[in-house]
Amino acid sequence: MKKTFKFILPKVALFEEEKHPFLPQLPDAKRNLYEDTSIQLVEEFIDYRQVILYRVQAHVTKDCIIQLKTNKPDFHLIYTKKAADDIIIQKHGTKNEIVLPHEHSTFTYIPRSKFGIHLRPGYYLVYGLLIDIGLVRDIIYHHGHFLSELKNARKRDKASLYQTVSWPIRDLTNYQLNRIETIFFNYSKQNEAKVIEQTYLLFDIAETKQFGLYEKLSEGEVLAKKARKIIYDIVNQGFQEVNISQIAFLLGVSDAHLARCHKRYYKQTLLQYRDEILLPLAKDRLLSTYTIGEVANFCGFRYVSGFSDYFEKRIGVYPSEYIKLHQNPGNDKNQ
């Protein structure tokens, strides 16, 4: 298995002046040194065919964004052992980002793309495991386990399965991390099966801690929730149209992608959600107090006729009829 990510930084043979005492070199790891005006970075990794183990150290002298390129989609388990501040990994050209809180860890699906890693001044120490999803076998992982789901998911659905969510993981996994550093970075062919076993164990610990303490959210679900919040605010603040294209633009996605995400998690369209909150507001509160024209204006309709047609299509009567029926609720029974 080849390492499928690389830092876009000037590579050096040695640092002219080491600005921070970096940890001693790991025994059998490949080692790369990078240096730029604001950062010195040490990358070490070892390849066990189906698993890549890596350790990254960085000393940052001023706020910077370093570039990362991935050659293929991968699944990582990442441990931020030391960090001056949160590490923010943002996908180029989008608002999509992965946040690695200092002294916390996460597992994350990282697509093939280019990223900017935002770092503040200080020292960083990060351990990572990169797993070949093709290694996952049903005989090892039961149906429904997240690694099995990831492997079997269609390409477009992989990113929606698991987003980055941080959780405290350092207390119960220091032993495993120390074992990786002291044993598995000393390469031995006999270690290959043990490394895979250790990696599965760490993913199991991560999953248990993650979903025992936090709600399991996918990127798509977060997107859908944000869209619903915007629609709710528009409807309740009033005097503007619920424009799905505009909402998608604000969230940095296409109309179609936003619609799919919302339908997947809420089993209704965005306009159906709008109706769910707009119609009770119009019926039960506004029409009992204001004119139809004022209600239409509040609900974001330019023309009264547009609001009347909208209302009739969903309620079965026009607003004028609805008002008459509810001002004199016995009228229809006496006819």
Q: Render pLDDT for 29-54 as a digit per residue (tens, 0 to 9).
A: 999 999 999 999 999 999 988 789 99
**Residue 56 has what pLDDT?**
96
**Residue 179 has what pLDDT?**
80
Distances (CA, A) of 330 to 282, 286, 325, 335: 21, 21, 8, 9
Distance CA 103, CA 85 (A): 9
Place of tokens 């299509």: 313
DSSP state letter for 218: -
Q: Which residue has the higher pLDDT, 40 or 205?
A: 40
Residue 155 main-chain phi, psi, to 5 deg: -55, -45
Q: Where are the domains of the chain?
A: 5-217, 220-334
Distances (CA, A) of 291 to 191, 304, 316: 78, 10, 19
Residue 310 main-chain phi, psi, to 5 deg: -60, -45
**Residue 144 has what pLDDT?**
58
Greatest mean pLDDT range, 212-216, 240-244, 249-253: 240-244
Place of tokens 């390129």: 69
Whole-prediction pTM:
0.59
Distance CA 41, CA 127 (A): 14
At 223, which amino acid appears? L
DSSP state letter for 167: B
Superfamily of domain 5-217: Jelly Rolls (2.60.120.10)
Q: 220-334, which class in CATH? A: mainly alpha
> Rounded mean pLDDT of the chain?
81
Q: Which helix (H) or strand (E) holds 44?
A: strand 39-47
